[in-house]
Amino acid sequence: MSKFSAAFGASAVSVVSSILLIARRPRVLGRRYPRLLLAAVTAVALAVAANEWVGKPVMFLRWSYVRFLFGLRHMGAHWQVGDGREEALADYVCTHARRNDIDDVIRVIDEFCYTKSYLINVGDEKGQILDRAVVGARPSRLLELGTYCGYSALRIARVMPDDAVLYSIEFNPANAAVAQRIWDHAGVGERIVVIVGTLGDHGKTLTALRETHNFAPGTLDFVFLDHEKDEYLPDLHRILDQGWLRSGSVVMADNVKYPGAPEYREFMRCQEGATWRTREHRSHAEYQKIIKDLVLESTHLGPPANA
Ligand SMILES: C[S@@+](CC[C@H](N)C(=O)[O-])C[C@H]1O[C@@H](n2cnc3c(N)ncnc32)[C@H](O)[C@@H]1O
Model pLDDT for residues 145-190, shown as the tens digit of each residue = 999 999 999 999 999 999 999 999 999 999 999 999 999 999 999 9
Q: Tell me what pLDDT residue 257 has.
A: 98
In the residue annotation, 241 being an active-site residue is answered as no
Q: Do 138 and 241 sit in the same domain of this protein?
A: yes
Of the residues 86, 110, 221, 226, only one is catalytic, namely 226
Q: Which of 13, 33, 55 is the endpoint of a domain?
A: 55
- Per DSSP bridges, beta strands 27-28 and 31-32 are antiparallel
What distance in angstroms lies between residue 21's CA and the mean position of ligand 1's atoms? 43
In the residue annotation, 162 being an active-site residue is answered as no
Chain length of the chain? 307
Q: Do 182 and 296 sit in the same domain of this protein?
A: yes
What distance in angstroms lies between residue 226's CA and the mean position of ligand 1's atoms? 6
CA distance 89 to 121: 12
CA distance 243 to 192: 22
Q: Tell me what pLDDT residue 307 has.
A: 61
Q: Chunked in runs of 10, what are the mean pLDDT values of the chain (307 residues)?
A: 74 88 77 85 90 82 90 93 97 98 98 94 98 98 98 98 98 98 98 98 98 98 98 98 98 98 98 98 94 97 75
In the residue annotation, 103 being an active-site residue is answered as no
Q: Do 46 and 138 sit in the same domain of this protein?
A: no
What distance in angstroms lies between residue 195's CA and the mean position of ligand 1's atoms? 12
Q: Do 45 and 177 sit in the same domain of this protein?
A: no
Pocket of ligand 1 (CB under 6 A): 79, 120-122, 145-149, 151-152, 169-172, 175, 198, 226-228, 231
Q: Do 292 and 144 sit in the same domain of this protein?
A: yes
**Structural domain of 15:** 5-55
CB atoms within 10 A of CB 65: 18
70: in domain: no
Q: How many domains does the chain have?
A: 2
Instruction: Find residue 224's DSSP bridge partners.
Output: 144, 252
- Helix axes of 151-159 and 123-137: crossing angle, nearest 10 degrees: 40
Q: Do 47 and 168 sit in the same domain of this protein?
A: no
Please identify, by atom number, the ligand 1 atom nearest to the C-alpha of residue 286. 8
In 68-158, where do the E strands start and end?
A: 141-145
75: in domain: no
Of the residues 51, 121, 175, 255, only one is catalytic, namely 255
Q: Do 135 and 29 sit in the same domain of this protein?
A: no
Q: Tell me what pLDDT residue 87 has.
A: 98
Q: Do 183 and 290 sit in the same domain of this protein?
A: yes
Q: Tell me what pLDDT residue 276 has.
A: 98
Q: Tell me what pLDDT residue 2 has.
A: 55
Please identify, by atom number, the ligand 1 atom nearest to the C-alpha of residue 146. 12
In the chain, where do the E strands start and end?
A: 27-28, 31-32, 141-145, 165-170, 192-196, 220-225, 245-253, 276-284, 292-300
CB atoms within 10 A of CB 61: 18
What distance in angstroms lies between residue 171's CA and the mean position of ligand 1's atoms? 7
Predicted TM-score (pTM) of this structure:
0.90
Of the residues 110, 231, 235, 254, only one is catalytic, namely 254
| One-letter amino acid of 71 | G
CB atoms within 10 A of CB 183: 24
Q: Tell me what pLDDT residue 1 has.
A: 55
